[in-house]
Amino acid sequence: MPGPHTEHLTMSHKPTHRREIRLFHRLALQFEKQPGLASVLCLLLVCVLTFSFCAPSFFSLTNFLTILRQNAAAFISATSMTLVITTGGIDLSVGAVAAFSGITMAGLATFWHVPPVFALGGALLAGTAAGTANGLLVTRVGMAPFIVTLASMSVFRGLSLLTAQGYSLPLPEGASLLEWPGRGWLGPVPVPAIILLLCVVAGSVTLHRTRFGRYVTGIGSNEEGVRRTGVNVRRVCLVVYALSGLAAALSGILMTGRLGSASSNIGVGFELDVIAAVVLGGTSLTGGYGSVIGSALGILTLACLKNGLILAHVSPFLTQIFTGLITIGAIWINMSLKGRDFFGIRKSSHGI
């Protein structure tokens, strides 16, 4: 089957294109475009199958919903992190911003007796403001995203500790709305599972089906080229970082709600887990290509791994080691898959 890449530029006027591309061809192209998706899916299947045999309680709806509830915050932040990384940036401050937003919410409700709805809104606003501050430093001042967000991680963690004076702030009695996103149920479905699903779908549609998402990908691939076509590159990047802050706030609300109290120490190391899952899902750390579905599968894989190892009575100390090794292995596979076609044959490279 002649692939799309063997065509040469010719000037003849023979009938040019096939009206429809055959399904198989499209599938192969999809695989070429998303090599990470295939490998993370395989890894997830291997995890699920292994643990289903090793740990009898693993393969059940209850356990699946537990995994979703426990990791909803990670799913949400992984979605926005995918956008950030696709532009070629990084956001290390999501864990600290999550804690800061949780503290803001509890502080507003406890100290200032703000109605729960406004406390929730205040938390989301705080996160968005934090993300916007990151974005302004990156786009207006031109600082490297790694440095900006590393510094703001420190600032927001410190602000949380300062506000709460190192204590955790219990959510006030009778303000069940604050706990609802993190531990509520809608019939048989946990609320955090619904929120994470909405976030992942919205993120995926945004990245792959909107102009904004197109520019996010384009900026990661060739920022100057996108700028020359008249796109406001700075604004797109600013919005991406603001969204990352908003998503971090939502993550913080979910974590706080699940625990029933806001702690300045939630989400320590959270950003690194999220970044690992995003890269595991096939998103290019250098930008230009991202998959929100891949990131969600990445989080799900790491979550299943942790959950399964615990249920299989493996030492919790081993869990971290396994997680790290499997991340390295998966990314290794991704790298060797890249630049190969559906049949694993290395494509000729034209470089870019």
Partner 1 sequence: MTIPHNASRSADRDHSDSASRSPAVEMRGITRRFGAVQALRGVNLSLARGEVLGLLGDNGAGKSTLTKILSGALTPGSGEIMIDGQSRHFSSPRDAQEAGVHMVYQDLSLCGSIDVAGNLFMGREPIRHVFGLPLLDTKTMHTRAREMLQGLGVVIRDTYARVDGLSGGQRQAIAIARAAAFSPRVLILDEPTAALAVMEVEAVLSLITKLRDQGVTIILITHRLQDLFHVCDRIAVIRDGVVAAERRIGDTTIGELVDLIVGERFHARSAH
With CB under 8 A as the contact rule, the residue among 102, 181, 218, 298 that binds partner 1 is: 218
| Shortest Cβ 16–partner 1 spacing (Å) | 5
Instruction: Please identify, using beta-carbon distances, which residue of 36 and 308 lies nearer to partner 1.
Output: 36
187, 131 contact by CB (below 8 A): no
Write out the two tokens for 19. Answer: 């009206």
- Residue that the structure tokens 């990670």 belong to: 74
With CB under 8 A as the contact rule, the residue among 35, 122, 181, 220 that binds partner 1 is: 220
**Where in 264-303 is the site for partner 1 (CB under 8 A)?**
284, 288-289
Closest Cα to residue 311, out of 41, 59, 7?
A: 59
| Shortest Cβ 189–partner 1 spacing (Å) | 23
Q: Is 313 in the site for partner 1 (CB under 8 A)?
A: no
**In which element (H, E) is residue 35 found?**
helix 35-54
Q: Is 235 in the site for partner 1 (CB under 8 A)?
A: no
Write out the two tokens for 231. Answer: 């796109």
Write out the two tokens for 44. Answer: 């997830």
| CA torsion, ordered 109, 274, 207, 132, to nearest 10 deg | 50
Distance of alpha carbon 289 from alpha carbon 281, whole angstroms: 11
Choose one: 72-80, 219-227, 240-248, 318-326; the region binding partner 1 (CB under 8 A): 219-227
Cα angle 296, 206, 226 (rounded to 5 degrees) comes to 115
Distance of alpha carbon 178 from alpha carbon 106, whole angstroms: 8
Q: Is 62 in the site for partner 1 (CB under 8 A)?
A: no
244, 80 contact by CB (below 8 A): yes
With CB under 8 A as the contact rule, the residue among 22, 113, 140, 209 that binds partner 1 is: 209
Write out the two tokens for 140. Answer: 């207006």
Instruction: Please identify, using beta-carbon distances, which residue of 82 and 251 lies nearer to partner 1.
Output: 82
With CB under 8 A as the contact rule, the residue among 113, 211, 235, 346 that binds partner 1 is: 211
User: What single letter denotes the amino acid at residue 151?
Assistant: A
For residue 169, give the 3-state DSSP assignment.
strand
Instruction: Please identify, using beta-carbon distances, which residue of 12 and 315 lies nearer to partner 1.
Output: 12
**Where in 20-59 is the site for partner 1 (CB under 8 A)?**
21, 26, 29, 32-33
Choose one: 135-143, 209-217, 249-257, 258-266; the region binding partner 1 (CB under 8 A): 209-217
Instruction: Please identify, using beta-carbon distances, which residue of 11 and 141 lies nearer to partner 1.
Output: 11
| Shortest Cβ 21–partner 1 spacing (Å) | 7
Q: Is 198 in the site for partner 1 (CB under 8 A)?
A: no
Q: How far is CA 111 from CA 19, 107, 156, in A?
A: 66, 5, 20
Q: Please report, as ranges, the residues that interact with partner 1 according to CB under 8 A.
A: 4-5, 7-13, 16-18, 21, 26, 29, 32-33, 205, 209-211, 214, 217-218, 220-222, 224-226, 228-231, 284, 288-289, 347, 350, 352
